[in-house]
Structures are given as structure tokens and as C-alpha cells.
A and B are shown apart, each in its own frame.
Chain A
Amino acid sequence: MSTIMTNTKRAIRDVYGETLAQLGRENPDIVALDADVGSSSKSIVFGKEFPKRYYNVGVAEANMVAMAAGLATAGKIPFANTFAAFMVLRAADPVRSLIAYTGLNVKLAGTYAGLSDSYDGASHHAIADIAFMRALPNMTVVSVSDPVEAELATRAVAAYKGPVYLRLSRAEVPVILDKASYNFEIGKGVTLVEGKDLTIVATGYMLIKALEAAEILAKRGIQARVVNIHTIKPIDAALLIRCAQETGAVVTAEEHNVYGGLGSAVAEVLTRQCPVPMEFVGIEDTFTESGDYEKLLAKYGLSAAHIVSKAELALRRKG
């Protein structure tokens, strides 16, 4: 087991910024770009230390991503930074036409993903980014759950050859993974809690909610397995099939629309290879609103309690 529940909280974006700067020290080919949100994405940490390898293009996300593509053609490893919502919407064309199409080695770091930029409202929430990125051939999609994973994932993404969408949260979240024992490998899911009754497959900040849900279920005599899928594409099909075979029911949990994200990706694997009762925890195809982050998550169905009730529903269907 690689989980530890701690009270230590750290903002994912701070860990990302520091890791990017550290990567910059280790590899001179790493460059970073931002579209006037460097102090939010924390790419500014890199920018202050390496001003010659840092391009702030102003409020011009598509231009930033296309520039990153050009830099990658010449062997640089560009990290392009903006809010997740704008990475997929404003920069969709260069993401598809330049980066995914040719398989360029660009890292698209989408910060403030899900509802984590909570007070800014639906315009700044990213609930369709996984769906878009996952639908592009050649694109790898990585979603970060806690501060430990933020560092390990950023490092792994930098070392990986090819285009990657790195989904990052704005939120300050507890450390739940044990850095000493946690093994992060792109494409490999991680079982954090063993269980035989059903499997909760979670990504991003919903991982901690899944762990909480498993504790609640345990008190009710239900042994839920908890699996962290940090790489949504390519998804760890072998692990998912094994979980479905061994536990007979699956609940997915993600901070994203229920259409097109983690739940869809898991269902695509299981419907073909091991159909079992499945339930989906996510935003129910609606636009969200401004508010306190935790209250917002609860209102839109993204809490441990929601995972518990969906788990019980899946179990009833399992019979």
C-alpha cells in the first residue's frame, strides 16, 4: 500500500512550479511558456530562474501552444501552461493540428482543472478537457491527485517522449501518497486499497474522496478496492479487467463531466472485455457555478457520500 493519510496540505500548483524549475536545472532542453497566468500556474518559478527559456506570450493561448510546437521540432521539451479550460478550448487547433497530429514532444500543463478555480465560476471550470484530449490520437492524458503525485507525474511527463496533457488542480490538498513507496509509471494504475466487493476507480482530487468512501463502506461491512488511474490515456486496461473480474462491480469518480472522461474510458474497456455493473460519479452534464470548492464539489455530486451511494447502487445491481 502506498497511501498515508496526512494532515499536511500543499497546493498542487506550487509543487508543479517547483518541480518544473528543478527539471529546468537538470535538463537545459526544458523550456516553459505561459499565457499571462504564470503566477497562477506557477510556471513563473521556472521563469524567474530561467528567463531565457521562458516565454510569456500574453493572453494568447493558441499562439503559445503553436510556439511550443515549433520549439519541440528543434528538440526542446516545452511545457505550455494555462488554465485547463483554455488549453482545450482556446488552443484546441494547435493542440490537434500541430502537436497531436505529428506527435510532437510538447507537454500541455492544464492547471485549475475541474472545479478547482471554484470562485471564478463555470467559465473557468474545466469539465470537458479529458474528453477532448483523450479523443486526439497520439495524446497521453495524465491527471494528478495529490502533492506527491504532482511531483512524480511532472517528472515522468518530462521524461516521456511524445505529447502529454498534464491535468493539474489549483487546490491545496492533503498528501495521501507515500513518496518513499509510491511508484508512478505512465500508463499504470495503482491499487491503493485492496477489497473484494467492488472497485472504486478514481482520478485527480476524487482519489481522496474515494479513499474516504472506502472507509465509510468498510464500516458498513463492504470491502471496496480503490484504484488510482492517473493515466487516463493510455488506460491500464489489464488492471481494470482484473478488478472487474475479482470484484464484480465498478464505480468511477472524476472531477469532470460524466460524458467522455475517466468513466467513459473505463466503460470502453469493460463493456468489451468484462462487463460488470458500473456507476459513474462526475458532473451530471451541467454547467457549474461560483462558490467554495468543497461546497461546490458536494453540490455537483463529487463527494465521498456520492461515491458511497453509487457504490451501494452498483452492489445492488451486482446482486
Chain B
Amino acid sequence: MSLSNERKRFLEETCLGLRRDLIKLLFGIQTGHPGGSLSSTEIMTTLYFEKLRVDPKNPKDPNRDRFILGKGHAAPMLYMILAARGFFPQDDLVTLRQLDSHLQGHPCAKKTCGVELSTGPLGLGLPAGLGMAMAAKLDGHDYRTVVLMGDGELQEGIVWEAAMSASKFAADNLLVIVDNNGVQLDGTVSEIMPMGDIPAKWRSFGWNVIEIDGHCVEAIADAVDLAATVKGVPTVIVAKTVKGKGVSFMEGKSAWHGKPIGKEEYANAMKELGVTV
């Protein structure tokens, strides 16, 4: 176990706080994607508060770890975490998706400090991450590149182009985490385009596969550490998650992929997260 009880508690409390702030933020601006942000909260929090070697005071350090949000629609959670880590002021968050803001609807590397790659069109994060991993090898840097992807995103053909390339180029400094929440925009993944045995698909492309509960911060931390010990092949962590996690009426519902939050829904959601509004 790589986490002390104290760190585990800290991460869990951070996740709860982030969920509250997310609901408040998205209710306030009446736009943005709650579902995918909530399913990836523990994954991104554990990475940014525990595992990634990043420094907000030196955001362009050549040997920093790279995190890519392949599923760019989870941008609100990424922004909240980057702000919490000090990459930009937390007061900026309310400008999300508004004119003149540096916080675009989907991540823009040119505008937002700490965003490594502009994403949104699905499937592009992994091949770009592979490019970053290859650059690390050329330069003799030991940084890692971590790409967080959605399970719906796996339907993009380019993902498998990149998966075979990462194998060929032995990108053991590349880590993919699949936020396997089982729901995409139009419905459940099994209804829209069944992905079958996701771990088996990655294995057949030559990847090392680790399967975990994507809401357990300890499991995430352990898997990220374990992946670093595997040499010669890239690793994918398939993280079982729940879309909309933490807000019961959003859980598992494709409707909450990207829908504005009503007043009553806001109050109910906050109540579930332990806050009366």
C-alpha cells in the first residue's frame, strides 16, 4: 500500500470538496459536463495530489510528468484540480466557458497554464501522449506521460492505431487510464457500441493491463506505482467507475453527460454531498 491513512483521508476529503465545488460551479454557469468529471474525480485527484511530478511554480519544467485529458469534456474537474494545485487562481473558475476566459469548454494548451495538450475531439490524446513519451526517451528524461481516456472514447479508431504504435515503440513511460464508466453521450456503452472485453483488447495490442476500482484512491495510487515497474511495454489501468459518481440521480445516466443542473437538482445534489443550500 503506497498511501498512509492520513494521505488516503486527505485525498478522499479533497475529492468530496471537489465534487461539491463542481456541482456549484456547473449550476452557476448552467453549462458543462458533470457526469464524466464526477467519474474521474478520484483518478485525477490521486494523480495531481499524490503521483504526478508537476510544479505550478515551474510549469514548463522539461522533466515534468505530462497529464493529458483525452476525454476533454471532463475539463471542469481538471481545471478545479489545476487551480487547487496553484496553476492559476481559483477565482478564475467561475469564468469557465465564458467569453475572454482562459478556461475553454475543452482544454486548450495555449490558454491555460498546466494544460499539456488541447483535447476535445476524442482519441487524439493517446497518440499525442505517445509522441511525448518518445520525446522523453530521445532526451533521456524520466518523466511519465499519463493519458486519461473515456470508455466511449475507445470507439475512435485512432486509439487502436496509437495502441499498436505504443507497443511497437516500447513506450513503457506511457500510462493510460481508462475511466470505464460504461456510459457515453447517447446511452450506455453496451447499447451504443459494446466494447466487449476492454482489458483483453489492450492485452491483444501488447499492453500490460491492470484492473482496479476507479473510485478507490489507494487502488489508483498502487496501480500507478505498479505500472512504473513494468518495462518494455506500455501499461493501461482499466478503472471501473460510475458516471456521475456521488450524486445518486446522476449516477449511470447518460442524460448527465452534459446537461445544465436545475435549481432543485442542485439542492438535492449538494445535500447528498453533505451541504445544505
Contact = CB atoms under 8 A, between A and B. Distances in A.
Q: Is the interface of B mostly helix, strand, loop or mixed?
A: helix
Contact of B131 (A53, A58, A71, A102): A71
Contacts of A31: 138
Given A66-B131, A70-B127, A70-B130, A93 B161 contact: no
Interface residues of A, number: 29
Given A62-B161, A73-B132, A94 B127 contact: yes
Contacts of B118: 97-98, 101-102
Given A93-B121, A98-B117, A55 B110 contact: no
A74 interface: yes
Contacts of B130: 67, 70
Nearest to B165: A57
B93 to A, nearest CB: 22
Contact of B124 (A60, A72, A75, A94): A94
Nearest to B158: A62
B273 interface: no
Contacts of B134: 55, 67, 70-71
Interface in A75-116: 75-76, 78, 93-94, 97-98, 101-103
Q: Is the interface of A mostly helix, strand, loop or mixed?
A: helix
Most chain B CB within 10 A, of A67, A73, A93, A97, is at A67
A67 B129 CA distance: 7
B109 interface: yes
Contacts of A60: 158, 161, 164-165
Interface of B: 62, 66, 108-110, 116-121, 124, 126-136, 138-139, 145, 158, 161-162, 164-165, 169
22 contacts: A53-B138, A62-B127, A64-B127, A66-B126, A66-B158, A66-B162, A67-B165, A70-B117, A70-B129, A71-B135, A73-B109, A73-B128, A73-B131, A74-B132, A76-B138, A78-B131, A93-B121, A93-B124, A94-B128, A98-B117, A98-B128, A102-B108
Interface of A: 31, 52-53, 55, 57-58, 60, 62-64, 66-76, 78, 93-94, 97-98, 101-103
